[in-house]
Structure 1
């Protein structure tokens, strides 16, 4: 049986980076493993469940939602039993799921608001991962959360400026100003390593703009950029 997988390949970076940066900002413990596997399966279940709101191929999408959701719930019981209060983060994600469901029902999956909603959900998972070991947040937890949101928001601006909005000069300037402002904000707070983590994003938003890159090539560069960001944030923690 061929797996039914999301087509948004860039979402995998959002799935992985905030979670493990959140874990690293606190303490990595063994329940993080089933937590992460359950988180992956929950994401895979969310994809067909959102497609249900388009009211097409309902039986097919319902089947795949169940295929992924059942093992996801079983795996997520491990962090829930380890830290019962972690369920709060699940509740925090519900409004963002509703927003994504709305955009899906309107066939506006590429809308900026839909992207930002998903970014917050993925970043909340990073907070949950940080919260799991000790049931508390640190300043580092919030730094990771903010950095994750800002990084993937920038990625969204950049990708749209290269593909869907490439003919809009106003969107180009929005992307450039955003990418320039973010490291300056971190620098003003004395977080120079975090600021440096955003410099590759600034560079590629300007240097690559207007290049005839295919979506695949853009995605490959984004994977590399995300890897640099991940390493730099880990360095900032030490």
Structure 2
């Protein structure tokens, strides 16, 4: 049986990076393994679940929702028993899921607000992975990997749109460049020099790659490399910040 998996390749980086930055921030427990696998399966389940709102192929999408959702919930029960309050983060994700469902029902999956809500939902998983060890809802350091991930992936959204759907929109290009430059300046001015360095590759690729005849696949490959660089440098910042 061929697996039914999402086609949005960028979502995999959002699935992985915030979660494991949260682990680096809070420390690793064996409970992170069922939490991550459960989180992975939950993401896979939400893909066909959202497609149900298009009101097409309902039996097919329902089947795949259940195939992923049932083991996801069983695995998530393991860390839930240890930290019952972790369900709080799942509840935080619900409003963003509702927004995604709305845009899916309107066939506006590429809308910026839809992308933004997905980014926040993915990054909340990083808060959950850090909380699993700490048992504290909002310690000072838990916000850094969350905020860094949110603004990074928003930048990725601007960049990809400037390369594909908005490639002929000069105003959008300038807005994307200004956003990436502002991130570097803001992190540096805040004293997070290492974090500022993590955003420099994003700034350079936003400017240097603009107007290049890159395919969607090439754009995606470069984003994987950029995301890996971001993860490594932010991980270093987290370790030193601790």
Pairwise CA distance, 1:140: 2.3
Pairwise CA distance, 1:163: 0.2
TM-score, normalized by length of structure 2? 0.97
Q: What corresponds to 2:47 in structure 1?
A: 47
Pairwise CA distance, 1:81: 0.7
Pairwise CA distance, 1:95: 0.1
> Size of the alignment, in residue pairs?
238
Q: What corresponds to 2:227 in structure 1?
A: 226
Pairwise CA distance, 1:183: 1.2
Q: What corresponds to 1:171 in structure 2?
A: 172
Asked whether 1:63 is paired with 2:63, we answer: yes
Greater Cα offset, 102-111 or 182-191: 182-191
Runs (4 or more) in structure 1 with deviation over 3 Å come to none
Asked whether 1:207 is paired with 2:208, we answer: yes
Unaligned runs of 5+ in 1: none
Q: What corresponds to 2:118 in structure 1?
A: 118
Unaligned runs of 5+ in 2: none
Q: What corresponds to 1:129 in structure 2?
A: 129
Q: CA RMSD in A?
A: 0.6
Q: What corresponds to 1:100 in structure 2?
A: 100
CA distance in 1, matches of 2:74, 2:21: 24
Q: Secondary structure at the match of 1:108?
A: coil
Pairwise CA distance, 1:82: 1.2
TM-score, normalized by length of structure 1? 0.99
Give CA deviations for 1:119-141 in whole Å, capped at 9, x if unaligned. 00000000010100121143221
Pairwise CA distance, 1:78: 1.0
